[in-house]
A and B are shown apart, each in its own frame.
Chain A
Amino acid sequence: MLGKTAGGLFWMFRNLERSENTARLIEAGFRIALTRPGSEEWTSVLKTAAAEQAYTAIHGDVEQAKVIDFLLRDPSNPSSVMSSYAQARQNARLVRTAITREVWEAVNESFMELKKCLARPVSERDLPDILGQIRRDSALVRGALHGSMLRNDVFDFCRMGTFLERADNTARILDVKYYVLLPSVTQVGSSLDNVQWETILRSVSGVRAYSWLNQGKATPMGIADFLIFDPRMPRSLRYSLTKIRSNLAMLEAQYNDRHPCHDTVERLDASLTANTVEHVFEDGLHEFLTQFLGDIGQLGTDIQSDYKFME
């Protein structure tokens, strides 16, 4: 496979994941704003989407309608849902020969649908429908990928793009909210206020799953454990890293070739496996997350150069 193609696949799925994550952040922010008027939720949504500076430069004050528009459809925001999706489709055009017709059509159709929906600013009334549409489109692409693609190097690069982006996103959600989860010693094990944990879990579509696993009892440690360490949670750091590791292992087997990225991922996986949520809280959640974000950034760079995405 061409190095450029591997890069195109990787970025196609990173961008798809990014657009889905941004849509989910908007959904969480919107829900909180509706149920808890006066909360500062939109500011932290902008922070999580790494769009606060860009937003402030254009709009100044944080206003719901403007934030939603900026995150959903502003072409000047490179990680708006529309921008990410347009980029993903451009990547898909680039790697058209590597993906099946089903995957291409799913991406292309979703893109056309999205472009139509987002041609004009979205009213509050239409927002839930459109966010739902974006969720369904993501599921369509994912389904086409799983149902029609060979399990070879092409598939591995797609999946690594997805999980690197996902790990990055979950870590950023936690990092923006770490102050919420920061317990004083006496509070360890105490319950959190509803609104605080709800926003975090909503941003990863994990409210029901968490409740079900914890009988509805939300503690800072419980939530952090769920999002960092739980191997059953498909958006946890642990789960994402395990996936990347297994895709890299499959590449190693297929190519019969080992690279620095294999060492990096094994080191990261081992250190996460050896760690516990108690340790993380002892050493500092923010410090842990900063380190983690740096590490997966490095992993991305290694993969990129080991598989020759660029000259």
Chain B
Amino acid sequence: MSDSAGYFDEMRGFGDGARAPYGQYAAWFGQEDPKGLMKEAKEAEDFFRRTGITFNVYGQAEAEERLIPFDIVPRIISGKEWARLTKGIEQRVRAINAFLYDIYHRQEILRAGRVPVDLIARNEAFLPMMIGVEPPGGIYTHIVGIDLVRTGEDEFFVLEDNARTPSGVSYMLENRETMLQMFPELFSQIKVRPVSQYPISLRNSLAAAMPPDASPDQTVAVLTPGIHNSAYFEHAFLADQMGVELVDGTDLKVIDGRIAMRTTRGYKPIDVVYRRIDDDFLDPMNFNPDSLLGVPGIFDVYRAGRITIANAPGTGISDDKAIYSYMPDIVEFYTGEKAILQNVPTWRCSEPEALAYVLDNLADLVVKEVHGSGGYGMLVGPAASKKELAAFRAKLEAKPGGYIAQPTLALSTVPILTKAGLAPRHVDLRPFALFSPNGVDITPGGLTRVALKKGSLVVNSSQGGGTKDTWVLEDD
């Protein structure tokens, strides 16, 4: 495996033997015929196409549905590794929620000078209308996806926080279903912790953050931008699994100071909206007046404490990559403890010395837009052409505050199955955490994204990435 030299492979470590978490799997794999497995992998793809697990790609003429490629080699994490990660995730989730409460109330962290005032006040993701609003149960971030990368045996880093509307959980669930169907014998030999309880946990977690005068039915609904959204499948899937209605803006209306949905028997009030549309589009009366997706007046109902919106409006500020660079301070400020999960060292290009360093070392760095997501608008220095570097340099000089830079991490690899057998590819991991007045609930597993192209470090599905089933072992 010379092409992966220098990278930590989660199956082989830095050497050749299987690491402990992969021991049983490697033994099983050794007795399989790779050709037969390739055939089965092809069948898995047919299975996905049949079940309709597809996503729409923006900017394509016919809005064709595409499949996110699935690789059948699982990504395996030991129970011990997981225990440490979950401690770190829980700490981070609580800190993010406390941070959001603070910046929309007394702003102690700004007064203490730990985060610059400008970074909040002049941030597009900061929602002044949320100042003083009390979210039901005190919860801002009901669902959080923390993107993690690994570089060594004990080296985990948080790459970014997704506290707005993290997506991908349907792949976590469906990938497991697929594996169970394809390789039942593996699951009887190896004790893998289940993930299938997620939809019920999600429903319970949302219900626990109901408004005080919720209806006895505790009605939850999933709010989607509609059938053309790239994640529509996931919205429908989650609504279905939770046993709740999937609504869009045209189904909802404010009636008697509450949000109600139009049913075959008239309007029925709902208590919690799990919304999968952005703040901007949520309420044309209060936010973007051009939005056709949201519900006019929903924000007024929210402010009156008569509906739970999950996640709360204005949580996007904590996804901001400039805020990210302060996350170790934020964790310490609210929890009084050192952050368990490390941040990737980050240069804020708004600072002149940092900008100078970044411009001098552009070819070695990864540069990201502070508000960007989905791998769009990002520069991977070592993989960029001279022309791309020059173009990005111009962008940086024009608007330095819009960017941060990070070293190019030696992302760990996990093997994928190719025609030539197992081949290492770079991965990241998005575990999903639920937060309610009852506490933090982290599903053992998550979404492992894998860059299918040899040597590539970009794992986003919109940029040719695939997914893997993520196993957390029952070993403690």
| Residue ranges of A at the interface with B (Cβ–Cβ < 8 Å) | 1-6, 90, 93-94, 96-97, 101, 104-105, 108-109, 112, 153, 255, 257, 307-308, 311
Contacts and interface: CB of A to CB of B under 8 A. Distances in A.
Contacts of B240: 96-97
B127 to A, nearest CB: 29
27 contacts: A1-B245, A1-B263, A2-B247, A2-B261, A2-B264, A3-B251, A3-B264, A4-B247, A4-B248, A4-B251, A5-B245, A93-B227, A93-B236, A96-B236, A97-B239, A97-B240, A97-B246, A104-B52, A105-B50, A108-B52, A109-B50, A255-B264, A257-B265, A307-B264, A308-B263, A308-B266, A311-B262
A94 B245 CA distance: 12
B196 to A, nearest CB: 15
Nearest to B261: A2
Contacts of B265: 255, 257
B453 interface: no
Given A93-B236, A308-B263, A4 B52 contact: no
Contacts of B239: 97
B49 interface: yes
B273 to A, nearest CB: 14
Nearest to A306: B264
Nearest to B262: A3
Contacts of A153: 264
Interface in B222-252: 227, 232, 236-237, 239-240, 245-248, 250-251
Nearest to A1: B264
B20 to A, nearest CB: 38
B294 to A, nearest CB: 15
Interface residues of B, number: 22
Interface of B: 49-52, 227, 232, 236-237, 239-240, 245-248, 250-251, 261-266
A2 B50 contact: no
Given A3-B251, A96-B236, A308-B263, 12 more contacts: A1-B263, A2-B261, A2-B264, A90-B227, A94-B227, A96-B240, A104-B52, A105-B50, A108-B51, A255-B264, A255-B265, A308-B264
Nearest to B266: A308
A93 B52 contact: yes
Given A93-B52, A105-B51, A112-B49, A4 B250 contact: yes
Contacts of B50: 105, 108-109, 112
Contact of A2 (B52, B227, B263): B263
Q: From DSSP, what is the main secondary structure of chain B's interface residues? A: mixed
A4 B250 CA distance: 9
A1 B236 CA distance: 15
Q: Which of A3, A105, A109, A307 has the most CB of B within 10 A?
A: A3
The 8 closest A-B pairs by CB, nearest first: A96-B236, A97-B240, A307-B264, A3-B262, A6-B264, A97-B239, A1-B264, A97-B246
A112 B50 CA distance: 8
Interface centre among A96, A257, A307 (most CB of B within 10 A): A96
A62 B322 CA distance: 67
Nearest to A92: B52
Contacts of A108: 50-52
B223 to A, nearest CB: 12
Given A2-B251, A104-B52, A97 B245 contact: yes
A4 B261 CA distance: 10
B236 A2 contact: no
Given A97-B239, A97-B245, A108-B52, A2 B262 contact: yes
A277 to B, nearest CB: 37
A109 B236 CA distance: 18
A108 to B, nearest CB: 5
Contacts of B236: 93, 96-97
Contacts of B245: 1-2, 5, 97
